[in-house]
């Protein structure tokens, strides 16, 4: 997962800017999976928190707006 859409300082920003705008306009966050450690994963669905005590590698789950 560390290499998924790996962004570097010299990366072209167009795809990231477009994706952020498109996602914000068309989707809401429906779930959040926080992989804090190899033996600890926290799952949040429905009421997704704005922040967590410890952020590890994570996955956001989106639901399309109607």
Whole-Å CA distances, 14 to 10, 17, 19, 57: 12, 5, 9, 24
Q: Which residues pair with 40 in a beta bridge?
A: 37
> In this structure, are residues 45 and 28 in contact, taking their beta carbons and an 8 Å threshold?
no
Q: Confidence band (pLDDT; 50, 70, 90) for 15? A: confident
19-58 per-position pLDDT tens digit: 999 999 999 999 999 999 999 999 999 888 888 888 889 9
Query: What is the value of pTM for the model shown?
Result: 0.71
The mean per-residue pLDDT over the stretch 12-20 comes to 90
């Amino acid at each position: 997962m560390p290499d998924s859409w790996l962004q570097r300082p010299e990366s072209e920003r167009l795809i990231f800017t477009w994706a952020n705008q498109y996602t914000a306009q068309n989707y809401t966050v429906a779930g959040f999976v926080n992989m804090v450690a190899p033996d600890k994963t926290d799952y949040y669905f429905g009421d997704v928190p704005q922040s967590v005590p410890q952020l590890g590698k994570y996955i956001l789950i989106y639901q399309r707006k109607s």
